[in-house]
Amino acid sequence: MPASIIDSAIFQGIFTSDAMRQVWSDENRTQKYLDIERALAVVQGRLGLIPQEAADEIVSHCTLDQIDLARLRAQTERIGYPILGVVSQLNALCRDQLGEYCHWGATTQDITDTATVLQIREGLVLVDDELAAIAAALAQLAREHRDTPIIGRSNLQQAIPVTFGYKMAGLLSAVLRHRERIAQLRERVLVGEFAGAAGTLASLQTGAMETQAGLCAELGLQQPVIAWHTIRDNIAEVGAVLGLIGGTLGKLSMDIKLMMQTEVGEVFEPYHHGRGSSSTMPQKRNPISSAYIHGAISVLRQHAAALMDAMVADHERSTGPWQIEWIVLPEAFCLLAGALKQSRVIVEGLEVDPVAMRRNIDMTHGLVMSEAVMMGLGPYIGREVAHDLVYDICRVALQQQRPLLDLLCENAQIMKHVTREQLATMCDPANYLGQSGLMVDRVLAAMG
């Protein structure tokens, strides 16, 4: 009986991915607990801290199929945490009371935090793989439309021409930075936790640090310099990076929605029969993926903020802030997976209409070239004088619905310095794309 949109049998394929749901599932989380208890037994048996016979017996039972999940739920509700229930079941499975050596010197949060890190590791792989695919699609769009003029917009008003490749390369540059961030945060976040009740490992009189080092090595994690039970900047950083990625996907979706407006019509999400249609207006083609991205990343941002709140923990083991992470971290990853999935659909199948882009540039009859004209006249009459003169001419052009070029040619002050051919060159959008192409090339080169 799923109640959340992530687990909904109807919506789950829209707002997340099956792979990410698996990472944060009860089954995977519980198996991670078992993986850690197994690794702990292996290391402590090797170090002689527990009998090798006990280590072997514990290891033989660290598989999910031997855990009664219904019983674990009841144990968790009674105790308040799942780890003791897992340990209790492992102990009972072992012969001759050898299970008493399970969880030797550990505390609940050690296992929980380390399991979370293992899930984060898996989740980040999925995120980075999707970012790589999105980057490839954005690079293709940037390359194909390096020199395709499109109007740039400022405050939702037409500004000056740019290129569509430039717009895509801008998004690509952010995606590449996000991949760098993921690589960088792995060094800080993929760190195990084995520190005991208050972080001092007092529970092990001998072999404490050797156990910690061996456990982390067994799990492929870095060894912590000091306990981080209530020092949660690492988890908050994960949330912050997820939020940043979501922000870029939101920027993509916002621009797609605006460019898909009927009056604009410059790009369209991929077409599939019936997708985006209205129940009452047959002509509509709604920006479905963009709308889902917007919704998902808006909630994701709040989750990133919640993980910042979880940093404000009390003393050496907290009362409440830790549980914030349990609630929001899985959902943050799952929502981002959905936004990535929808973004990939958009960029891999985006329908681009260069004719509409040029039509929109031309719809003001040259007014969008006013900056080019101002800068072209500046050397003759001064930039500020040129600004005011062109400003007044633009007002007349709007009132009379006449081409800017014609009105410029009727101005005696201007014609004293330039010819109509020179003015026509200034008014040609293809001549005022700045360094758009060069910037596209630089971003593409950064992909390696």
Q: Which residues are catalytic?
A: 278, 317
Can you tell me the distance from the alpha carbon of 408 to that of 277, in angstroms, rounded to the nearest whole number? 46
Can you tell me the distance from the alpha carbon of 297 to that of 252, in angstroms, rounded to the nearest whole number? 12
Q: SS3 of 417, please?
A: coil
Question: In what helix (H) or strand (E) does residue 160 lie, and over which residues does it extend?
Answer: strand 157-163
Q: How many CA atoms lie within 13 A of 182 on its CB side?
A: 23
- Structure tokens of 369? 């070239």
Can you tell me the distance from the alpha carbon of 211 to that of 338, in angstroms, rounded to the nearest whole number? 39
Kindly write down the DSSP assignment for every residue of 282-321, as one continuous string: TT----HHHHHHHHHHHHHHHHHHHHHHTT---SSS-SSH
Strand-pair partners of 161? 151
374 to 160, 382, 386: CA distances (angstroms): 13, 9, 5
Which of 346, 343, 347, 333 lies closest to 16 in space, CA to CA?
A: 333
Can you tell me the distance from the alpha carbon of 29 to that of 78, in angstroms, rounded to the nearest whole number? 19
What is the rounded end-to-end Cα distance, in angstroms, of the chain?
47
Can you tell me the distance from the alpha carbon of 25 to that of 425, in angstroms, rounded to the nearest whole number? 62
